[in-house]
Every structure is written in structure tokens, then in C-alpha cells.
A and B are shown apart, each in its own frame.
Chain A
Amino acid sequence: MVYLLGIDVGTSSTKSILIDERGQVIGSADHSHPTSSPTPGFQEQDPQHWWQGVRLTIRRILEETEIRPNQIAGLSLSGQGCACLPVDRMGQPLGPAIIWTDTRSVPQQSRLRQIFGTELGRLTGNDIYDQPEPRMLWIRDHQPDVYRNTYKFLTTVSYLLLRFTGKLAGNLSDWGFHLAFDRSTRSWNTAFCRAAGLDESKLPDIYASYELVGSVTEAAAAETGLLTGTPVVAGGQDSTVVALAVGALEAGQSVVMRGTTDLLCLCTTDGGYHPGLYTTFAVLPNLYIRYDMKEVVAAGGSYHWLAGVLFTETGKARFRAMDDLAAAAPAGSNGLLYLPYLLISTQPDLTQQRAGSFFGLTTTTSRADLCRAVMEGTACALRETIARLAANDIRVSELRLTGGPAESDLWNQITADVTGLPVLVPAVGSGAAAYGAALLAGLGVGVIPMDDRYETLRRLVVLRRSFRPRAQFGPIYDHVYAAFCQLASGTAGIAAQLKADILQAAER
């Protein structure tokens, strides 16, 4: 029996998972790391904390499972995307990592929009979202010494590849999303870099996600307890790795990562530019992942928020109680409709801002109605995303759901009923990204074949449950969805005004 190690360094914690070649989880460990915000808008992490989490979780797994390091056939990585970490020629960090939630480089984003105008998307393959290039330019503008001394800019996964193998490398799924990478030629976009004033030589070598980058160095082996020479596979940005973990392997299949917010990642064979949509490489060959990030939809965030309003006690029992309540309300929640926009969206156009809202409240609106309306509202938001993709001729054939909300079978069924799509819930729970990284290690080292039409891989993905849309609820949810769309766009003006006030108050 051989084993595969997967490591995911997320925004708030690191999770490592060891699986055997049949896909069984043998051991896992978590370690959280802090984010610091020295000034409002700044969001930084210390790369040493990432590495510490990696080291400690691997050591714990090795101790607890008593698997010998020479039984581990390979490891791979998943990580939060879009961090910007400058390192020198020796691979030493020149400062903290500026992570994806940092907003300091808004002026640099604007500058890029100015330079490239409407050509930006066509040139870079994506519109600006939270890619690291504006952060690199911020360093150039504000810390010229650091910029000068920067040998390479790294992301989270790139930094960990460096720590494991000593190589300054990146992978396609992580870097293929970035503005400086040209997906069509799979090389750095010289035209972009030149016009933006970004030194192309400061970007690392790029590998396919399933390619071997190198092997565990002596130093890394000493720190982690792994064997020197253990193969290290390039890995990927977390959402693309989750897509692999849940078995979204071909065009039309999708995963919805339901955390605080929903992120729909759709497999597609088209790697081109679509205005308003975002694209990167999938971790498998000849496949891309496309995102619709027009709205920031609070799914788990909404449920968590409602729990806080409805219950004084804390803990997970509340969520089960809310599921039971929601089950008692009829489809359509007695005319109550919810818009799940509890977070400020990244929409550059403020007038299109949406706001968290309830419509249709009466003195008889019950807790059950509130709970169910939140489930239905988030499902409507998902349906809207799917409709937007359809308007771009991009078809979604099924939804695979992960994250906390996917633990609620009622919510999953409502999601199927509202979207009209089959909803599949993989057995792999909160550790999907680390699990996917372990699968990726298997693909990279050949333990899992890539030339059998992924039949072996598919067998490793176990579904917990699946939900078919129920036709009898179609008409009522069509009605709810129509109202949802009208109210979401109809109240944008008011929402914008309220959010402008909130932003103003925050600035004060």
C-alpha cells in the first residue's frame, strides 16, 4: 500500500490529509494561522506561519498514523489564490505576504484600467478581480527598494513549493488566473508586463498542476519528518483542487464552494476571455475552470447570520434546529423572499450594489419562514449565476456542493428544486481541498493513472447523497426566482445608497 499527502493552505488555516491509494483518508490535521491588518484595508500573512502549519500538520499525521515516510509516494499542494509575496535571490521573503482580501492596490487597479481600457480583458484573459499584479505594482510604487531586491513574486502555493523543493515555481491553475499570464501561449504576457511596468523576470517558472516540480529537500525533510526525495507535484489554487476532489472533471460539471460566500467553479474546455467571467486552468489537462463572481453571495454567511439573530445560544445545534424549522415552512416561505447580499460586493459600479434584504414580511412571518427564505434566496442567487453563464452559452449540467451549507439536506434539495439541476454532495467534507491535493499528488506520481479516462480517479470520488430537482416545485420556484431577480435589481439604487453610507461611516 502506498500513501499520498495533500496539503491545503487556506485563508485562515492549513489542513493536511494523508490518503491511501484507494482514496481512504488515513489521517488529517489542521493548524490555523493569523491575518494581520496594520492599517485598514491591509491584509497580511507571515509566510513562516504557512510553513509552520505545514510542518506541524505533517508531523502530527505521521505520529498519529504511524505510516512510515517511505510509504508516501508523493505530495501536492492547494492554496488560497492571489497572494503576493516578494522573495530575494536566496528565496528569503522581503516582507509579509499581501493576501487576496487586501485592498491597498485599488489605485494600481485603476491605473491598469486606465492604461488598457476595454482591451484589458482581451489582452490578459480576465478582468481585474483580486489578482496579485496590482499588489506587485503597489510594492513597486511604495517600496521601491523591496521591488528592486525582489527576485521573484510568489503565491502561497509557490512559496510552499520553494520550501519543499528549493525551486521558484508556480502552477497553471494558480497563475493562469493572473493578469501577467497568457493562457493561449502558456507563457508570460510580455505586452501586458511592458505596458504595466512590471518586470517579467520577477515571475516564477510555471508547471502544469499535475507535473512534478522536484522533491523534498534535506532541509524540508528534517523539518517535516518526510523522506528526502519524496516527489512534490505542482498543485493548484484551492477552488480548482476542490473541483478535482468532488469529481468535477469534464465540461459542464461544476462545484459550488459554499463557505461564508458561494463560489461556483465550472469546468469548461474553452479557455478564452468572456467579459464579466473569470477563467483559469483546471488541474487536469485540456480543461479550464470558469467563475462567475459578479455578486458576492453570502450563503453560509447568511445562515450563520440568521442563527445569530434567532438564537442566543451558540454552537452547531442551532443549524440543525434551523433545518427543522425550515422544513416546516412551505415552498415559497409564505411569500417571504431573501436577498443574500450581506457583504459589500467588489462591483466597481456602486449603483449596481445589492443589499441583504427580506421582502414580504408580515406579523405572521415565522422563524420557519425566515430560515427557509434564506435557503431559497441563496438558491435563487445560484440560479441567477447559472442563468448568466447560460447567457454566455456556457451550460451547467450539475452542481456539486461542498462546505458547511452542503451538510443540510433540505438546503441541498431546495437548491436542486430552485436551479432545476441535479445536486451532488461528495462525501469529502471540509477537507476537500487537501483531499484534492492528495489526489493530484497521485496523478503526478502515477499512482492514479491519467490515461484511463479518469476511471480510477472517478472511483475515488464518493458521493454522500444526490438530489434531483422535483418537478412539482418548478412553477412556484419559477415565480419566486422571477421576483428575486426583479427585487435584486429593483432595489440596487437603495442598496447602493445604504452601502455608500456604510462605507462612509467605516471611513470615519
Chain B
Amino acid sequence: MSLLGIDVGTTGCKAGVINSDGEFLALAYREYDIVRPRPDWAEMDSRGVWQKVKEVITEVVQRTRHDPVTALATASMGEAMTPVSAERTILGNSLHMFDSRGDEYVAELAVRPGRERLHAINGNVLGTPYSAPKLAWLRDHQPELFQQAHCFLLWAGLVGYLLGGEAATDLSLANRTLLLDLRAEDWSPELLEATRLPRAKLPRVVSSQTVVGEVDDRLADELGLPRRVKIIAGGHDQCCNALGAGVVRPGRANYGIGTFLCVAPVYDRLPPSKPMLDCGMNIEHHVVPGLYVSFLYNGSGGSVLRWARDTMARAEHTEAMLKGYDVYDRLMAELPDEPTGLMVLPHFAACGPPTFDDRSAGVIVGLKLATGRGELIKGLLEGVTYYFAEGLDLLGQAGLHVTEFRATGGGAKSDVWLQLTADILGQPIVRLQVSECGVLGAAILAGVGSGVFSSAAETAEAFARITRVFEPSPPKHAHYQQRLAQYKELYPLLKDYLHRL
């Protein structure tokens, strides 16, 4: 028997099959584009994405006939909700978190119930990305579609529903709507009332690992799946990723280095709302029952390195693609060993917590005639890491302390990046054998929900094999602590200027 994990992301979807030892038997990936009907709108072509999801499932199932799949679960991006009919058909596109529609409803929510009350109930920091304001926009601007919809589903729930399961959502994704009551673990009547959204248009809330149905026979045949495969509630991709990385104990955090860089610390007690809101941090259910997770993120993670590649290594990037080597390996090899003399504010893209500033911009201070490309790139990565060091300091003040980071995502391949991160944060950074943590996390949930595994945390602990630990260098950490103090002055000093540029 084997388990199928599906991961539906912003730019592509993956399916992976693991055996009961956590080994990957097959993996498939398809990309798709965000649809932009207008410059400030951003949609997922739900029918097109569903087609790609079916393709990746078909591909991995074909390759694992010898070890048939018995259960599946899906991890997905948050926020994007798709209208569906009672007959399991897609009625329209889903609005992506980058879509600017719904801003006026965000403004309403800021007044009633207000940021503080919202955080106290739901745990999220009010902003544009979430689904509720976008649903409200649809209700008022596309009333026919809104009325016609049986309900609106987040992507993990949508995949389960289209495969034949009930219309459901797990707690982690339900939280991304702004409508969940974190403590009651169900839709909040107060928030539904405040947004004037009908409960009937929302799916049932279940915890991850819940069985929500079986794959429809006709669809099983179409996809090449065995009959009666169990559909298990998955969850938010960030949470599944953390699960797959073994981030299942308080004090651990996932350090996800992708285009976005997202640090996700895990804890086992609900912290008071106010200190968390003060540092701009959300509170969300983990996909492991009894645990919670927060996200400290910034759009300027790997994207800063990509920017460096596109500006400073243009010719080599082309050459690398022709000759088949990794241009990043070459760039990272140029980084000097010592901390740089640069100070970088990494606001190259919109900032997440604690500032949520999308009008800020990046800064490099301290350039010299002798500053080479390697030092510049190291300075950029230092700046990106200071951002998280500052955020983690704030989290510490709110009572959440991280003592071990688990690196995931593309950046986790780089020794120098992980060492620099350990040196700045002053905590060990762990590298894992598995690179597909999101798919693995979803597959683990499928296994727990179908009774193959008894505990998600224990299973993840066993599957997330550590290949290397990057320990911080005490003298470098001491040096970086001084620099961090300077870094913290930079944004307050420059904020007004950067807004004007």
C-alpha cells in the first residue's frame, strides 16, 4: 500500500506517492500561470489548475501500480477560493491572494470588528490577501455567480470535493478566510455577521487527518486510481511543509527559503492575542492537532538572489543554462567568508510582518570601490536574514522562542546560505534529506487519517532525516548581533524617504 500527497501552489502543482517507510515512489510536477484579467487582478484558472492536478495524479499513480495508493490528502496555498456547484463542478476562477479586489471590505473590517477583535477571534492580521473580503466583493459585484454557487472551497478542500469527498476545509486553511473562530474551531458567527457572508456558502470545518470521503469510482478509473481510495483532509501548504520537515515540537521552526522566505515557528499553547498582534504575527492551527503555527515572511527571500543573478550574472546565467551547471553554485562560491561591511534593507518586495509595508523599497549602504559581486550578494543575504532575526526577536518578546530551524525550499541546498543564517540567528539550522516536504506532509496526513500511521508528529519525526546541522559560529554571531542593532535603525530612519521614492 502507498499514500498520495498532492500540493497545489501558486505557480504549479505536485503529486507524490510514498510508501509506509516515507520513501518517495513517484513524483510529478506541472506548472501554470496566474491569470491577470486586469493589472491589479490575479486569478487562478480553477478548471485549468484542476486539469493539471489530475495530470500529476495520473502520472504518479501509473508509476506506482505495484504498490497501490490507499489514501490521499492535499496541501494547498491559502486564501484562493473557488465557487462550486452541488454537482461537483467548478463555476469560476479563484481570486489569488495578490488580487487587490476587496480592499474596501478590508477597510470595513478595520472598523468593525476592528483589527484587535479580529485577531482575538481569528488570529490573523487584517489585510488584503485573505478570502473573506474577496468573497464579499464577489457577492456584491458578481451576485449571480455568488448565488449560483453551492459553496466556495479553498484548494485543498476543492481537490477533495472534486474527487468525490464532502465539501470541507481543515482548520489551517479555514483560518486563511478570516472567518474562523480559532478557539471554537468553527466559523465565527460574529465575523460572518461583520462580513455579511452566509455560513451556507462555506464548507464544513474539520481537523486535518479527518476522513472526508472516498474517490468517486468514475474518477478513480479516469485517473488510474484503485477503487475506494480514502480522501483525507489536508491543510495549508506552509503547515504541511512544516510537518514534512518534522517541525512538530514547540521550539522548532520551519525556515522555508523559496522566492518568498517564510519562517514558521510551532508552539503548543495559544498565546495571548495582543503581544502577537503587536509584532504583526498571525496564529493558525498546525495540521498536527494541539499545535499552532505563525508565519514570519517576506517576499524578498530567494527573489533577492534571483535579482542578483539577473543583474550581476546575466551572461553567466545564459551560459549556465546552455552548459547545464547551476549559476547559483558559482555565485555562492564567490561569497567572502567574513561578515560584509554592507547594510541591506531587504524590502525588494512587499514586506510581511511586522511592518506589512508594500511601499518600502530595498536599500544597500556601505558600498566601497572594492565591493565585489560576492560581497554584494552576501550583503543581500545578510539583510534578508536580519529581517527574520528582527522578527524572531519580537516573537521572543511575545514569549515564543525558537531553538532549532529546519531549512526547506530551494535555498536549503546552499551551505553558505545556511551557515550565514545560523551565524546571524545564533541557532542551529538543520538540513533534511527530503526536499519535497509539502507533498510528504500531505501524504503523512493521508496515512494518519487512513490508519496507516498512528501519529503525524511521530511519523514526521521518523521520516525527516537530518543530513547536516549548521552550528552558529560564536564570534561571527557576536559580530552580527552588533550589525543587527544597526539594521534595526535602518527602516525607522528611512521609511518616509522610501515611501516618497
Contacts and interface: CB of A to CB of B under 8 A. Distances in A.
B366 interface: yes
B202 interface: no
B143 to A, nearest CB: 37
B433 interface: no
B364 A358 contact: yes
A505 interface: yes
A363 B369 contact: no
A487 interface: yes
Interface in B292-343: 299-300, 303-304, 306-307, 311-316, 341-343
Q: How large is the interface on B (under 10, 10 to 19, 20 to 34, 35 or more residues)?
A: 35 or more
A304 B369 CA distance: 9
A363 B307 contact: yes
A443 interface: no
Interface string A477-508: 00000010011001101110111011001000
Interface stretch (B120-128, B272-280, B371-379): B371-379
B311 A370 contact: yes
A310 interface: yes
Q: How large is the interface on A (under 10, 10 to 19, 20 to 34, 35 or more residues)?
A: 35 or more
A495 B494 CA distance: 13
Contact of B369 (A343, A366, A483, A490): A343
A337 B369 contact: no
Contacts of B312: 309-310
A494 B343 contact: yes
Nearest to B490: A494
Contact of A312 (B316, B362, B371, B494): B316
Contacts of A343: 368-369
B362 A497 contact: no
Contact of A357 (B299, B304, B367, B493): B367
A483 B498 CA distance: 9
B497 A362 contact: no
A308 B372 contact: yes
A198 interface: no
B500 interface: yes
A357 B363 contact: yes
Contacts of B490: 494
A179 B104 CA distance: 69
Nearest to B304: A363
B365 interface: yes
Contacts of B367: 305, 342, 355-358
Interface string A243-266: 000000000000000001000000
Given A309-B312, A502-B341, A490 B494 contact: yes
B494 A359 contact: yes
Interface string A333-349: 00111000011000000
Interface string A394-413: 00000000000000000000
Nearest to B311: A367
A38 interface: no
B349 interface: yes
B489 interface: yes
Contacts of A367: 311, 314
A475 interface: no
Interface string B462-501: 0000000000000000000000001001100110011011
Contacts of A499: 366
Contact of A309 (B303, B376, B486, B501): B376
B267 interface: no
Contacts of B369: 260, 298, 301, 304-305, 342-343
A190 interface: no
Given A487-B494, A490-B494, A355 B365 contact: yes
Contacts of B300: 363
A502 B314 CA distance: 30
Contacts of B497: 359, 483, 486-487, 490
B130 interface: no
Nearest to B364: A358
Nearest to A359: B363
Which of B364, B365, B494 has the most C-beta atoms of chain A within 10 angstroms of its own C-beta? B365
A260 B314 CA distance: 26
B387 interface: no
Interface string B431-449: 0000000000000000000
Interface string B340-372: 011100001100000000000111111111011
A315 interface: no
Given A312-B315, A356-B371, A367-B314, A490 B493 contact: yes
Contacts of B311: 310, 365-367, 370
Contacts of A335: 361, 501
Interface in A268-285: none
Contacts of B343: 494, 498
Contacts of B303: 363
Contact of B366 (A305, A337, A360, A495): A495
A362 B365 contact: no
A390 interface: no
A363 to B, nearest CB: 5
Contacts of A358: 362-364, 367
Interface in B391-450: none
A222 interface: no
A361 B376 CA distance: 13
B501 A337 contact: yes
A362 B300 CA distance: 9
B307 to A, nearest CB: 5
A361 B363 contact: yes
Which of A301, A365, A370 has the most C-beta atoms of chain B within 10 angstroms of its own C-beta? A365
Contacts of B371: 305, 309, 342, 356
Interface string A290-313: 000000001001001100111111
A363 B348 contact: yes
A362 B368 contact: no
Contacts of B307: 361, 363, 365
A121 B369 CA distance: 32
A301 B370 CA distance: 10
Interface string A305-327: 10011111100000000000000
A36 to B, nearest CB: 20
Contacts of A355: 365-367
Given A309-B376, A335-B361, A342-B369, A494 B501 contact: no
Contacts of A260: 369
A498 B361 contact: no
Nearest to B366: A498
A337 B361 CA distance: 11
Interface in A149-174: none
B445 to A, nearest CB: 34
26 contacts: A301-B369, A305-B371, A309-B376, A311-B315, A312-B315, A335-B361, A343-B368, A355-B366, A356-B366, A359-B363, A359-B494, A359-B501, A360-B498, A361-B361, A361-B362, A363-B348, A365-B311, A365-B362, A491-B365, A493-B489, A494-B486, A498-B343, A498-B486, A502-B341, A502-B368, A505-B341
Which 6 pairs of residues, A with B, have the shortest CB-CB distance? A356-B367, A361-B362, A498-B366, A360-B501, A335-B501, A357-B365
Interface of A: 260, 298, 301, 304-305, 308-313, 335-337, 342-343, 355-363, 365-367, 370, 483, 486-487, 490-491, 493-495, 497-499, 501-502, 505
Interface of B: 299-300, 303-304, 306-307, 311-316, 341-343, 348-349, 361-369, 371-373, 376, 486, 489-490, 493-494, 497-498, 500-501
Given A362-B348, A370-B311, 13 more contacts: A305-B367, A305-B369, A337-B501, A342-B368, A342-B371, A356-B367, A358-B362, A359-B363, A363-B300, A483-B497, A483-B501, A491-B494, A495-B365
